Amino acid sequence: MCGIIGINSSKPVSATIINSLKKLEYRGYDSAGIATLSSGLINEVKSEGRVDNLEKNSSVLNMEGTIGIGHVRWATHGLPNSINAHPHSSQNVSVVHNGIIENSTLLKKFLVGRGHKFKSQTDTEVIVHLITENLKTENIVNSIKKTLKALHGSFALGIIFKDEPDLIVGARRGSPLAVGYGPNENYLGSDSYALKSMTNKITYLNDGEFCVIKKDHIEFFNEDGTKINKKVLELSSEEEKYDKGDYKHFMAKEIEEQPVTLKNGIKEYIDNANNDINIYNIPWEKNEISSITLIGCGTAYHSCLMAKYWFEELTSLDVNVDIASEFRYRKNRFKKDSLYIFVSQSGETADTYAALDLCNKNGMKTCAVVNVIESSIARDSEFVLPIHCGTEIGVASTKAFLGQILILYILALKLGQLRGDLEKKVLSEKIKSLKELPKLVEKTLSIDSKIQNVSTTFNEAKGSMFLGRGFSYPIALEGALKLKELSYVHAEGYPAGEMKHGPLALIEEGMPVVVLAPRDNYYKKTISNMQEVIARGAKVLLITNKSSDEIVSENIWQTIEVESTNQDLLPFLLTIPLQKLAYYSALKKGFDIDKPRNLAKSVTVE
| Least spacing, CB of residue 168 vs ligand M6R, in Å | 27
Cβ-based burial of 54 (10 A; exposed 0-12, middle 13-18, buried ≥19): buried
Nearer to ligand M6R, 278 or 391 (CB): 391
Given 603, 604, 605, 606, the residue binding ligand M6R (CB under 6 A): 603
Residues from 148 through 167 that contact ligand M6R (CB under 6 A):
none
- Which secondary structure element, helix H or strand E, spans residue 87, and what is its range? none
- Are 215 and 10 in contact by the 8 Å Cβ rule? The answer is yes
SS3 294: strand
Residue number of the CB closest to ligand M6R reads 298
Q: Binding of ligand M6R at residue 604 (CB under 6 A)?
A: no
Nearer to ligand M6R, 297 or 440 (CB): 297
304 is catalytic: no
- Are 522 and 473 in contact by the 8 Å Cβ rule? The answer is no
2 is catalytic: yes
Residues from 468 through 507 that contact ligand M6R (CB under 6 A):
481, 485
Q: Binding of ligand M6R at residue 299 (CB under 6 A)?
A: yes
Nearer to ligand M6R, 111 or 395 (CB): 395
Q: Binding of ligand M6R at residue 375 (CB under 6 A)?
A: no
Q: How far is CA 3 from CA 33, 292, 300, in A?
A: 11, 33, 22
Q: Binding of ligand M6R at residue 258 (CB under 6 A)?
A: no
- Which secondary structure element, helix H or strand E, spans residue 270, and what is its range? strand 270-271
- Rounded to whole angstroms, the Cα distance separating 377 from 355 reads 10
- Rounded to whole angstroms, the Cα distance separating 21 from 27 reads 10
- Rounded to whole angstroms, the Cα distance separating 369 from 344 reads 6
Catalytic residue among 145, 399, 414, 601: 601
Q: Binding of ligand M6R at residue 323 (CB under 6 A)?
A: no
- Are 208 and 145 in contact by the 8 Å Cβ rule? The answer is no
Binding-residue pattern over the window 328 to 347 for ligand M6R, x denoting contact by CB under 6 A: ----------------xxx-
Residue 545: DSSP 8-state: E
Q: What is the DSSP string of 137-160?
A: TS-HHHHHHHHHHH--EEEEEEEE
Nearer to ligand M6R, 124 or 397 (CB): 397
**Part of the chain binding ligand M6R (CB under 6 A), chosen from 73-81, 390-398, 412-420, 578-586:** 390-398
Nearer to ligand M6R, 107 or 481 (CB): 481
- Rounded to whole angstroms, the Cα distance separating 591 from 486 reads 7
Q: Binding of ligand M6R at residue 396 (CB under 6 A)?
A: yes
Catalytic residue among 2, 304, 359, 389: 2
Q: Binding of ligand M6R at residue 261 (CB under 6 A)?
A: no
- Rounded to whole angstroms, the Cα distance separating 349 from 346 reads 7
| Least spacing, CB of residue 175 vs ligand M6R, in Å | 14
User: Of the candidates 395, 393, 411, 433, which has an alpha carbon nearest to the alpha carbon of residue 306?
Assistant: 411
Q: Binding of ligand M6R at residue 325 (CB under 6 A)?
A: no
Nearer to ligand M6R, 195 or 300 (CB): 300
Computed on alpha carbons and rounded to an integer, the radius of gyration of the chain in Å comes to 26
Binding site for ligand M6R (CB under 6 A): 297-300, 344-346, 349, 352, 395-397, 481, 485, 602-603
Active site residues per annotation: 2, 601
